[in-house]
Amino acid sequence: MTRPVHKPSRRAAIKAGLAAGAGLAISNRLELFAEEVARQQELPLVTTVIPRTGERIPPVGLGTNRYSVNAPADIENLCNVLKTLTDRDGSVVDTARGYGRAEEVIGGCMTENGNRDEIFLVTKYTESNGRRRGSGGAPVDHMAQIELAFERLQTDMVDVMLVHEVGDAANLLPMLQELKATGRFRYVGVSTSSDRDYRDMAPFLSRGELDFLQVDYSIGNRSAEERMLPLALEQGTAVVCNLPFGGRRNSVLSEMGDAPLPGYAAEVDCTSWAQLYLKYLASHPAVTAVIPGTTKVEHAIDNNGATRGRMPDAAMRARIESTYAEIAGV
């Protein structure tokens, strides 16, 4: 008995064709991405200077405020991101006691990857981190709490320790300076992710007490340029930029939508909006490092492209600002 031949409907045939076409398009994009990555890896590595010591580090690192995970698969993925960073000559990894389990996850990943010596490790501490809920105004053993950071990070030295709440800096900085003198930290400083803290940060900067300063700086929020960045440059304080793409609700990458990358991006060896905006920040004379939050290997690879090739000069920075303003409507 001859079996009837099944003929797919036109709708099914169209869907199948679209699926095949989409698969081919994805494959082609992945191939192009791989080619771009390979080309960029051949470009010279860019490094920036830490003013107090002359030490040089790559300008684009990794922010880890979303690294508080528990599932083995999630941890494995983040370990791969961390390994991708150092495999491509990146080094700056920024975390904090306030990021849940992030320090613990990073410590485990560095041990698993065997790449602690390749990482320029930054973490943060505040008085509130050491105070248990319900303890009221009870004294806190900050030294013991800071030792927990070393334990979680599985290291006996942290490159940079920052006081994250500016109001705590007067109390905590002297202790951090003592630990720096013993070699537990190499640099100390203050950090914020809010412009409203700049007024209180300025006196610490002016007195030359900070090796490092971390601020919220993106092409969509340039208020740090008004006083903080010039003051840091004047005082020889290294600057790390957090939230380089803005917040989740106001991401500068989302604001670009489907807008094509401008042709002039090739003049500074950029193949994505992320790279262009990271290079824009890293090319500011006061900026030492930029730490985009990254939980995906492909994003880590793309961001790392901003550590290679030509950097924007003042004229190019102006063009980038003009393009952003035009597309974002600001």
Per-residue pLDDT 10s for the chain (330 aa) are 333 333 334 344 334 443 444 454 555 655 667 788 888 999 999 999 999 999 999 999 999 999 999 999 999 999 999 999 999 999 999 999 999 999 999 999 999 999 999 999 999 998 888 665 445 566 788 999 899 999 999 999 999 999 998 989 999 999 999 999 999 999 999 999 999 999 999 999 999 999 999 999 999 999 999 999 999 999 999 999 999 999 767 799 999 999 999 999 999 999 999 999 999 999 999 999 999 999 999 999 999 999 999 999 999 999 999 999 999 998
pTM (2 decimals)?
0.88
The C-alpha atoms of residue 254 and residue 30 are separated, in whole angstroms, by: 21
Q: Three-state DSSP class for 14?
A: helix
Q: Are 91 and 81 in contact (CB under 8 A)?
A: no
124 vs 44, 93, 155, 212, 283, CA distance in Å?
A: 32, 12, 15, 12, 25
Question: At 45, phi and psi to the nearest 5?
Answer: -75, 135
Helix (H), strand (E) at residue 77: helix 72-87
> 79: closest CA among 290, 300, 305, 304?
300
In terms of C-beta density within 10 A (0-12 exposed, 13-18 middle, 19 or more buried), how is residue 322 classed?
Answer: exposed
CATH numbers and ranges of domains, the chain: 54-328 (3.20.20.100)
